[in-house]
């Protein structure tokens, strides 16, 4: 019993009813009822209409654009985020505090500002776009542009989820592998990576979920060409502007299910990882 | 894992790639915005940010941010307290619901309130009869912003409250202290830095929210345009100097927020060592 | 109602189950007024839970608790007239020594001057005079224990409960502190129950020992009795 005192929840601390009432009331009004309304509203369509809505070619193309760009961006962020977390935890170098301090910039900077700035940088005459143009690659108004905007949005997720885990990793761990004759690369891939994989995956899926729903930073850089660079949130927005609420709602429902699916997969990965330790 | 003092080529290659990546992705856009905003001289910059519509947009953004932070502070404190101080059935569900807005697209967040209070809603006749306008008006903007930033404060508080444990509060309750007194006198000192950090994050997102607000605003210039929406309007009208000038204000805010964040995080870590 | 006139605390058939763990199985015992009783058992035996149930920090699944002849199962912890010393003392880290000790008096609306007098009296009692302005992190383990003790006694409780009072103390000074605490408790004359997993500590401090294993009482008696006549194999094994 000695160790469980801190974990054990007490029933003497006053305020349970008040906080329970406020929290459930608030969540009910702000989260549960709105989402139920969304589900109910989509019931106004018949099943066939619903399917026709969410699988029309243009909508279907938008899923492909959204998922492929969000997935690529999150993959890039998984690699870069892991590297940045590694550098921040492992090495001492000038400017380290600055580097650590700016990771959250995408949380602090309004997405629309990031969107227009990245667009202007990557058009063919922009500071970055010029370089790519030499190789005949255009960035802005293509899927590459969307991916870059999403990379910007997702940077903090992987770094901040891997960093604390790396910090807690005991050095003996690696030293043990080294004394057994493992090369640094072997140690990294076979000893360290499995340890941090759950946090890496958590960061990846948070970034992925966020990127799929992202609107503000993407809408400027995407160019929004139907079938090519039109993301799903933009389709919903367009339907709303045409007052076609039924279609908007059914597409939103599909997106919502997709987010839940990502959350679900991540939960399974985390539970399995917790069981192994 | 300890800091290693090895200085092999791998170290500098990794640092170099990381620094280059962050420079291009994070610093360059900021520099670019400020550069473009000032390109036409300080006069046109000043003119752009003191335009009456610009001022209205700034005012609305401040208003929305303040209301959102107040509401979410109250919710965040209660939710974190509830989820760390008591055990009860359904706690996992409440925790999941609290975090849910993080994984919902802002567009969908806007859409749900549009469906709830818009013209096709069953509530609309009632709202209309009482002359309450929510959709395409300021209340809708506030609602959507609150939804999008709902978990920001509780997420910062929960790990700290769990780490502190419940014994101090139990001791206080045993001596007969009431809930509010315990919270303000005993609990709050432990969580103040995390709380302020949450407030800062919440304010940052509230200020910059675009998608959700975009759905519900109706884009009435001077009335329901927040700063990000006003920037979009300028940008689409090819007034790039204006758009970047307004953006530069938000960039200054973002940098201030980052500095604050680092101070608060440092303070919090220092006090945890007690 | 309790039978004997000098019985101060009585637990009757207390049961408590956690998810996969029995913390209390038909716990029944009585403590006489003014006695110092030790709840002794290995970790995980349920002794801390019994103390917490008695204090009102935890509800029992069933059973009755009497303090001073009054059934208190539904009396809130703050009205049971007890002082509680937590295992890690649970000192308020953001309040100084004075405010820690004065806390219970303040919430019970004592007058300022009375609070000052009472705190000074307690500071003197536990030998901490002069350290009023220190914060818990600036104190040694032993000093923290003294503050926790003074804080628990401040509101003049009739019953003092101590959860592993020496767990957070350096082994070297433990022995010395035991005698000090025992002496102090008898000077204050308060009925006290403490929880420990250390046989030596229990024998040295307690008037009476209650040995608990897996949520069940194995034996009750004076230190001499349980040593000389261990009633179960567990007691024999645990004390040897």
Label residue C44 left, alpha or beta by phi (over 0 means left) and psi (-120 to 50 means alpha).
left
Measured between CB atoms, does C77 come within 8 Å of chain B? Answer: yes
Contact A10 C58 (CB under 8 A): yes
List chain C domain ranges. Answer: 35-48+76-239
Buried b (16+ CB within 10 A) or exposed e, B33-66: bbebbeebeeeebeebbebeebebbbebbeebbe
C-alpha–C-alpha distance, residues C125 and C176, integer Å:
17
**Over residues C12-29, mean pLDDT:** 88
Q: Predicted ipTM?
A: 0.88
**Over residues B118-142, mean pLDDT:** 87
Helices (H) and strands (E) in chain A, counts: 15, 0
Q: Are B29 and B147 in a shared domain? A: no
Q: Is residue B11 part of a domain?
A: yes
Contact C49 A12 (CB under 8 A): no
Contact C94 B173 (CB under 8 A): no
Q: CATH number, domain at B241?
A: 1.10.3720.10
Q: Are B24 and B119 in a shared domain? A: no
Give the model confidence (pLDDT) of C141-171 as tens digits.
899 999 999 999 998 999 999 999 998 888 8
Helices (H), A92-192: 96-102, 105-108, 111-122, 129-134, 143-168, 171-179, 184-187
Q: Are B58 and B183 in a shared domain? A: yes
Contact C77 A2 (CB under 8 A): no
Burial level of C125, CB count in 10 A (0-12/13-18/19+)? middle
Q: Which residues of B touch C139 (CB under 8 A)?
A: none
Measured between CB atoms, does A179 come within 8 Å of chain C? Answer: no
User: CA B216 → CA A44, A123, B118, distances in Å?
Assistant: 22, 30, 9
How many percent of chain A have pLDDT more than 90?
53
Q: Does domain C35-48+76-239 have CATH number 3.40.50.300?
A: yes
Q: Are B12 and B110 in a shared domain? A: no
Measured between CB atoms, does A9 come within 8 Å of chain C? Answer: no
Show which subunits contact A, needing at least 3 CB pairs below 8 angstroms: B, C
Contact A1 C77 (CB under 8 A): no
Give the model confidence (pLDDT) of B67-108 as tens digits.
999 999 999 999 999 999 998 888 989 999 999 998 899 999
Q: Which residues of B touch C94 (CB under 8 A)?
A: 186, 189-190
A30 Cβ contact list (under 8 Å, min separation 6): B143, B146, B147, B150
Angle at which helices B106-117 and A245-276 cross, to 10°: 130
B43 Cβ contact list (under 8 Å, min separation 6): none
Give the model confidence (pLDDT) of B169-224 as tens digits.
999 999 989 989 999 999 999 999 999 999 999 999 999 999 999 999 888 888 89
Instruction: Extract the tokens encoding B54.
Output: 């610009």
Contact A102 B103 (CB under 8 A): no
Contact A1 C56 (CB under 8 A): no
Q: Which of B12, B18, B70 to mutate to test the interface with A (most CBs of A within 10 A)?
A: B18
Residue A76 Cα, gap to closest chain B Cα (Å): 11
Q: What is the 3-state secondary structure (H, E, C) of B94-132?
A: HHHHHHHHHHCCHHHHHHHHHHHHCCCCCCHHHHHHCCC
Q: Which residues of B touch A94 (CB under 8 A)?
A: none
pLDDT at residue number B4: 62
Q: Which of C57, C79, C155 to mutate to test the interface with B (most CBs of B within 10 A)?
A: C57
| Bridge partners, residue C64, by sequence | C12
Q: Which residues of C touch A5 (CB under 8 A)?
A: 48, 86-87, 163
B122 — pLDDT class (breaks 50, 70, 90):
confident
Contact A165, A147 (CB under 8 A): no
Which residue carries 């076609």 as its tokens? A244
B6 — pLDDT class (breaks 50, 70, 90):
low
C-alpha–C-alpha distance, residues B60 and A174, integer Å:
54
Residue C42 Cα, gap to closest chain A Cα (Å): 9
Distance of CA C31 to the CA centre of its chain: 13
Give the model confidence (pLDDT) of B216-274 as tens digits.
988 888 889 999 999 999 999 998 888 999 999 999 999 999 999 889 888 887 776 65
C-alpha–C-alpha distance, residues C83 and C85, integer Å:
7
Show which subunits contact B, needing at least 3 CB pairs below 8 angstroms: A, C
Angle at which helices B41-49 and B240-272 cross, to 10°: 80
The domain of B22 spans: 6-38
Measured between CB atoms, does B211 come within 8 Å of chain A? Answer: yes
| Bridge partners, residue C209, by sequence | C38, C221
Contact B97 A245 (CB under 8 A): no
The candidate with the shortest Cα–Cα distance to C197, out of C176, C184, C182, C211, is C211
pLDDT at residue number A207: 94
User: CA C165 → CA A243, B167, C23, C177, distances in Å?
Assistant: 70, 14, 20, 10
Q: Is residue B1 part of a domain?
A: no
Cα angle at A35 between A34 and A41, to 5 degrees? 90
Give the model confidence (pLDDT) of C204-223 as tens digits.
999 999 999 999 999 999 99
Q: Are B33 and B106 in a shared domain? A: no
Would you say residue A26 has pLDDT above 50? yes
Q: Which one-letter DSSP state was computed for residue A32? A: I
Q: Which residues of B touch C (CB under 8 A)?
A: 167-168, 170-178, 181, 185-186, 189-190, 274
Instruction: Report the SS3 class of residue B67.
Output: helix
The total number of structural domains in chain B stands at 2
This prediction has a pTM of 0.88
Q: Which residues of B touch A38 (CB under 8 A)?
A: 108, 111-112, 115
Contact A1 C197 (CB under 8 A): no
Q: Are B33 and B76 in a shared domain? A: no
C-alpha–C-alpha distance, residues C54 and C104, integer Å:
19
């Amino acid at each position: 019993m000695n160790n469980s005192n801190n974990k054990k929840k007490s029933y003497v601390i006053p305020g349970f009813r008040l906080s329970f009432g406020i929290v459930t009331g608030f969540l009910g009004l702000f989260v549960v009822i709105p989402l139920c309304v969304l589900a109910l509203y989509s019931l106004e369509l018949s099943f066939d209409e619903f399917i026709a809505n969410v699988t029309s070619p243009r909508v279907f193309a938008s899923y492909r654009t959204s998922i492929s760009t969000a997935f690529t961006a999150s993959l890039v962020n998984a690699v870069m985020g892991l590297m940045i977390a590694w550098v921040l935890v492992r090495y001492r170098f000038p400017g380290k505090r600055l580097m650590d301090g700016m990771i959250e910039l995408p949380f602090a900077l309004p997405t629309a500002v990031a969107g227009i700035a990245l667009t202007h940088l990557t058009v063919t005459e922009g500071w970055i776009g010029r370089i790519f143009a030499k190789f005949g690659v255009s960035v802005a108004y293509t899927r590459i542009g969307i991916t870059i905007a999403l990379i910007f949005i997702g940077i903090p997720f992987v770094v901040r989820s891997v960093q604390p885990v790396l910090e807690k990793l005991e050095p003996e761990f690696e030293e043990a592998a080294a004394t057994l004759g493992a090369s640094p690369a072997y140690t990294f891939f076979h000893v360290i990576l499995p340890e941090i994989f759950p946090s890496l995956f958590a960061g990846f899926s948070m970034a992925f979920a966020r990127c799929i729903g992202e609107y503000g930073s993407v809408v400027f850089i995407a160019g929004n060409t139907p079938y090519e660079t039109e993301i799903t949130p933009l389709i919903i927005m367009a339907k709303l502007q045409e007052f076609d609420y039924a279609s908007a709602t059914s597409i939103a429902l599909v997106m919502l299910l997709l987010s839940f699916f990502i959350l679900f997969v991540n939960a399974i990965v985390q539970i399995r990882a917790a069981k192994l330790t | 894992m300890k800091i290693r003092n090895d200085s092999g080529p791998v170290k500098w290659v990794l640092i170099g790639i990381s620094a280059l990546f962050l420079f291009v992705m994070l610093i360059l856009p900021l520099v670019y915005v400020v550069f473009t905003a000032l390109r036409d001289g300080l006069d046109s910059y000043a003119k752009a940010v003191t335009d009456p519509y610009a001022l209205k947009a700034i005012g609305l953004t401040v208003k929305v941010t303040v209301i959102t932070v107040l509401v979410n502070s109250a919710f965040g404190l209660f939710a974190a307290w509830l989820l760390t101080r008591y055990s009860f059935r359904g706690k996992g569900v409440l925790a999941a619901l609290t975090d849910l807005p993080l994984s919902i697209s802002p567009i969908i967040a806007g859409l749900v309130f549009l469906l709830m209070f818009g013209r096709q809603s069953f509530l609309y006749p009632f709202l209309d009869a009482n002359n309450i306008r929510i959709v395409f008006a300021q209340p809708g903007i506030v609602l959507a912003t609150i939804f999008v930033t709902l978990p920001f404060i509780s997420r910062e508080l929960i790990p700290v409250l769990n780490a502190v444990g419940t014994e101090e509060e139990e001791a206080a309750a045993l001596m007969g202290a009431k809930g509010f007194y315990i919270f303000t006198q005993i609990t709050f000192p432990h969580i103040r830095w995390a709380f302020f950090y949450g407030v800062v994050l919440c304010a940052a997102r509230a200020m910059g929210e675009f998608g959700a607000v975009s759905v519900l605003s109706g884009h009435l210039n001077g009335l329901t345009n927040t700063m990000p929406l006003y920037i979009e309007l300028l940008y689409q009208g090819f007034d790039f100097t204006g758009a970047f000038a307004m953006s530069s204000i938000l960039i200054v805010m973002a940098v201030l927020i980052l500095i604050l964040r680092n101070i608060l995080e440092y303070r919090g870590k220092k006090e945890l060592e007690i | 109602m309790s039978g004997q006139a000098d019985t101060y605390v009585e637990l009757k058939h207390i049961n408590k189950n956690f998810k996969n763990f029995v913390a209390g199985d038909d716990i029944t015992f009585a403590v006489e007024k003014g006695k110092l009783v030790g709840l002794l058992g290995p970790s995980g035996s349920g002794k801390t839970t019994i103390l917490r149930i008695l204090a009102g920090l935890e509800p029992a699944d069933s059973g009755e608790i009497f303090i001073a002849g009054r059934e208190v199962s539904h009396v809130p912890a703050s009205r049971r007239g007890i002082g509680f010393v937590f295992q890690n003392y649970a000192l308020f880290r953001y309040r100084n020594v004075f405010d820690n000790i004065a806390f219970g008096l303040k919430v019970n609306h004592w007058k300022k001057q009375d609070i000052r007098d009472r705190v000074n009296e307690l500071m003197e009692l536990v030998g901490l005079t002069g350290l009023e302005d220190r914060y818990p992190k600036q104190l040694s383990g032993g000093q923290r224990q003294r503050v926790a003790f003074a804080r628990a006694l401040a509101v003049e409780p009739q019953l003092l409960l101590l959860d592993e009072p020496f767990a957070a103390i350096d082994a070297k000074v433990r022995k010395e502190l035991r005698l000090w605490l025992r002496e102090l408790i008898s000077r204050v004359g308060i009925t006290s129950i403490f929880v420990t997993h250390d046989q030596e500590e229990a024998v040295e401090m307690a008037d009476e020992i209650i040995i608990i294993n897996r949520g069940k009482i194995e034996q009750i008696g004076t230190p001499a009795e349980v040593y000389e006549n261990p009633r179960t194999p567990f007691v024999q094994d645990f004390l040897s």
